[in-house]
Structure 1
Amino acid sequence: MNKGILKFKDGKEFMGVLFGAPVSSPVIAEAVFNTGTPGYQEILTDPSYKGQIVILTSPMIGNYGIIDISDNESSDIKATALVVKKLYRGKIAPGRISLDAFLKKHSITGFEEADTRAMTIHIRKHGAMNAVIFTEEMRKDAEKLLSSYPSTSQIDLIKTVAVKESVINPATSSAREKARKEAEMNIAVIDYGIKESILDNLYKRNARLSVFNKEAGSKEILEAKPDLVFLSNGPGDPESLGRSIETIKDLIGKVPLCGICLGHQLITLALGAKTYKMKFGHHGANQPVKDVFTGRTFVTSQNHIFATDENTLPSGVSVWMRNANDSSVEALISPALKIKSVQFHPEGAPGPLDGEWIFDEFLELAK
Structure 2
Amino acid sequence: MKALIGLEDGTVLTARSFSGSGEAMGELVFNTSMTGYQELLTDPSGAGQLVTMTYPLIGNSGVNPEDMESAGIHPRALLVREYQRWPSNYRATESLADFLQRSGVLGVEGVDTRLLTRKIRTAGTMKALISTEDMDPDSVVRRARAWSGLDERDLVKQVSCVTRYRWQDDVPLPADHFAEGAGYKVVVYDYGVKYAQLRLLARKGCRVLVVPADTPAEEVLALQPDGVFLSSGPGNPAAVHNVVGNVKKLLGQVPIFGICLGHLLLGLAYGCRTYKLKAGHRGSNHPVKNLLTGRVEITSQSHGFCIDTASVPASVEATHTNLNDNSLEGMRHRELPAFSVQYHPEFASGPHDAEYLFDRFIQLMEQAS
Between the aligned partners of 2:134 and 2:127, the Cα distance in structure 1 is 20
Partner residue of 2:72?
76
Report whether the alignment pairs 1:210 with 2:206.
no
Displacement of 1:211 after TM fit?
1.7
In structure 1, stretches of 5+ residues that fail to align are none
Aligned-residue offset at 1:89: 2.2
Identity %: 38
> What CA distance in whole angstroms lies between the structure 2 residues aligned with 1:226 and 1:42?
29
Q: 1:138-157 alignment to 2 at 5 Å?
A: 138-139=135-136, 142-157=140-155
Aligned partner of residue 20 in structure 1, secondary structure? coil
**Structure 1 residue corresponding to 2:47, chosen from 34, 38, 50:** 50
What is the aligned partner in structure 1 of residue 326 from structure 2? 327
- The CA deviation string for residues 216-260 of structure 1, in whole angstroms up to 9 with x for no partner, is 111111101111111000011100124201111111122211100
Match of 1:130 among 110, 121, 127: 127
Report the CA distance between 1:359 and its aligned residue.
0.7
Q: CA shift at 1:199, angstroms?
A: 0.3
1:173 to partner: Cα distance: 3.4
Aligned counterparts of 2:179 and 2:280: Cα–Cα separation in 1 = 36
Give the corresponding residue for 2:265: 266
How many matched pairs? Answer: 361
Quick check: 2:127–2:145 contact (8 Å CA) kept in 1? no
Deviation at 1:213, TM superposition (A): 1.1
CA contact (8 A) 2:179 2:185 kept: no
Question: Using the alignment, how far apart are the partners of 1:105 and 1:241 within structure 2?
Answer: 30
Distance 1:215 1:332 in 2: 24
Three-state SS of the structure 1 residue aligned to 2:28 is strand
In 2, the alpha carbon distance for the partners of 1:209 and 1:98 equals 32
Q: Is the 2:285–2:300 Cα contact (8 Å) retained in structure 1?
A: yes
Where does the alignment leave 5 or more consecutive residues of structure 2 unmatched?
none
State the match for 1:255 in structure 2. 254
Q: 1:87 to 1:166 in 2, by over 3 A?
A: same
The corresponding residue for 1:98 is: 95
Q: 1:87 to 1:180 in 2, by over 3 A?
A: farther
1:317 counterpart residue number: 316
The secondary structure found in structure 1 opposite 2:145 is helix
CA deviations on 1:20-71 (whole Å, 9 max, x unpaired) are 1321xx31011110000110010111111111011000111111211x2110
The letter of the residue matching 1:99 is L
Alpha-carbon distance change, 79 to 333 in structure 1, aligned in 2, over 3 angstroms: same
For residues 88 and 257 of structure 1, do their structure 2 counterparts lie closer, same or farther at Cα, with a shift above 3 Å needed? same
1:293-316 superposed Cα distances (whole Å, 9 cap, x missing partner)? 210111000000101111011112
Amino acid at match of 1:309: D
Counterpart residue identity of residue 64, structure 1: S
Structure-to-structure mapping, 1:234-313, within 5 angstroms: 234-313=233-312
- Which letter does structure 2 place at the counterpart of 1:35? T
Question: Judging changes above 3 Å, is the alpha-carbon distance between structure 1 residues 176 and 145 closer, same or farther for their aligned structure 2 residues?
Answer: closer
Question: CA shift at 1:146, angstroms?
Answer: 1.8
Secondary structure at the aligned position of 1:243 is classed as coil
Rounded Cα–Cα distance in structure 2 between residues aligned with 1:87 and 1:299: 28
CA 8–205 in structure 1, closer or farther in 2 if over 3 Å, else same: same
Cα offset for 1:180? 9.1
2:288 and 2:215 map into 1 onto residues whose CA distance is 32
* In structure 1, distance between residues paired with 2:345 and 2:251: 23
Matched, 1:191 2:190: yes
C-alpha spacing 1:160/1:241, structure 2 compared with 1 (3 Å): closer
Q: 2:182 & 2:115 partners in 1: Cα distance? A: 50
Report Cα offsets for 1:175-232 as digits up to 9, x if no partner. Answer: 898x997532111111011000100000111111222212111111110111111100
Q: Aligned pair in 2 of structure 1 residues 29, 15: CA closer, same or farther (>3 Å)?
A: same
Check whether the contact 1:189–1:230 (CA below 8 A) recurs between aligned residues: yes
**TM-score, normalization by structure 1:** 0.93
Query: Which letter maps to 1:166?
Result: R
Letter in 1 for 2:123: H
Q: CA deviation at 1:360?
A: 0.7
Larger displacement relative to structure 2 (331-340 or 36-45) = 331-340
Q: Which amino acid aligns with 2:78?
A: L
With the length of structure 2 as denominator, give the TM-score of the two structures.
Answer: 0.93
- Once the two structures are superposed, the pairs formed by residues 25-36 of structure 1 within 5 Å of their partners are 26-36=23-33
Q: Which moved more, 1:155-164 or 1:185-194?
A: 155-164
Of stretches 26-35 and 7-16 in structure 1, the one that deviates more from structure 2 is 7-16
Q: 2-side partners of 1:22 and 1:181: how far apart? A: 50
